[in-house]
């Protein structure tokens, strides 16, 4: 199996976000559930991190954190020589583009993809595993594949933002909402990195994952398992359109500033104001949806 090169980086970011101490056990199934992938790529990623000395493998016990992941996430990944980019990115985005503009049918075969893109079977297997993991295509019983009817149009992305608009401000108002100061500081460091130039230099995948992690962390502060599971599911299946929307980076500077403002309000326990700010933050995307639609709807 070809390793999704983003998974080791995502595990490192999760370790930082959860503030897991040295010696913590890293069960493969727990990581697979959190990252919404199967156990096989998680085990491969843990081997990569073991080779880099971040985790240690103990016979018959599994993997454990061997050293502290220090510094802002982007610097920690650089120090470990990890990049979230995936070798399947070029083929992945070609398939995504063709799907969005209607050039690929609702049902297809691996043979069709091999002929259309001139790709080897190993490349096709890797990119289909990635697409299936994100939820916008699935293997049919018996033979062939089918694209999901969800989140393959600009209207689908708009609907996902409406759902988030109902959920995320409410999560900030849950009784006992709390986020550890260390988590807030890590989230703040990411936003400062973006404003210092990361918006221009980060990949679409990095921008997407950083935004997802910010919003999921705030919802996780609610401690409400229903809210948390819902936001993770939505973020998992909206990746296709979110990647495409990352081509328009002008709005990300304002988003980073809004994220920093939200963190300041939450740090001061002004959750009512933070909820109102979150509502405006998400609403701004809805108001500008026309600009994003031009990037997402590629049909002639």
* Domain spans of the chain, in order of start: 6-80, 89-147, 154-296
The position carrying tokens 């590629």 is 298
Are 31 and 13 spatial neighbours (Cβ–Cβ below 8 Å)? no
Among 66-70, 207-211, 247-251, whose mean pLDDT is lowest? 247-251
Q: Is the pLDDT of residue 20 over 60?
A: yes
219, 171 Cβ separation under 8 angstroms: yes
pTM: 0.66
Q: With a cut of 80, say whether residue 269 has pLDDT above it.
A: yes
Q: Where are the beta strands (DSSP E) in the chain?
A: 55-58, 62-65, 107-108, 137-139, 145-147
| CATH code for the part of the protein at 154-296 | 1.20.120.530
As a whole number, mean pLDDT of residues 127-133 equals 82
Could you tell me the fold of the domain covering 89-147? Answer: Arc Repressor Mutant, subunit A (1.10.10)
Q: CB burial class (10 A; 0-12, 13-18, 19+) of residue 256?
A: buried
Mean pLDDT value across residues 267-272:
96
Confidence tier at 69 by pLDDT (50, 70, 90) = confident
More confident residue, 223 or 252: 223
CATH of domain 6-80: 1.10.10.10
Range scoring the smallest mean pLDDT among 161-165, 189-193, 287-291:
287-291
Confirm whether 6-80 and 154-296 share one CATH topology: no
What is the mean predicted confidence (pLDDT) over 233-249? 66
């Amino acid at each position: 199996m070809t390793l999704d090169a983003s998974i080791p980086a995502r595990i490192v970011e999760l370790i930082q976000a959860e503030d897991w101490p040295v010696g913590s056990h890293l069960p493969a199934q727990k990581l697979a559930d959190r990252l919404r992938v199967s156990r096989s790529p998680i085990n491969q990623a843990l081997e990569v991190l073991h080779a880099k000395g971040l985790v240690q493998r103990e016979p018959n016990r599994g993997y454990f954190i061997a050293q502290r992941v220090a510094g802002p996430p982007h610097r920690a990944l650089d120090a470990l020589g990890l990049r979230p980019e995936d070798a399947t990115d070029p083929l992945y985005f070609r398939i995504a583009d063709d799907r969005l503009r209607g050039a690929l049918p609702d049902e297809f075969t691996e043979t069709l993809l091999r002929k259309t893109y001139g790709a080897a079977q190993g490349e096709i297997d890797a990119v289909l595993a990635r697409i299936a993991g994100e939820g916008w295509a699935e293997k049919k019983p018996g033979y062939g594949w089918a694209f999901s009817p969800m989140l393959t149009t600009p209207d689908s992305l708009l609907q996902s933002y409406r759902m988030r608009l109902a959920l995320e401000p409410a999560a900030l108002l849950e009784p006992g909402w709390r986020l550890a100061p260390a988590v807030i500081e890590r989230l703040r460091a990411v936003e400062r990195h973006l404003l210092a130039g990361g918006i221009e230099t980060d990949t679409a995948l990095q921008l997407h994952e950083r935004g997802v992690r910010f919003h999921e962390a705030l919802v996780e502060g609610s401690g409400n398992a229903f809210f948390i599971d819902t936001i993770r599911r939505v973020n998992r299946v909206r990746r296709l359109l979110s990647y495409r929307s990352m081509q328009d980076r002008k709005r990300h500077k304002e988003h980073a500033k809004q994220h920093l403002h939200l963190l300041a309000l939450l740090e001061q326990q002004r959750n009512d104001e933070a909820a109102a700010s979150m509502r405006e933050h998400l609403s701004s995307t809805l108001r500008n949806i026309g600009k994003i639609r031009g990037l997402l709807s590629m049909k002639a």
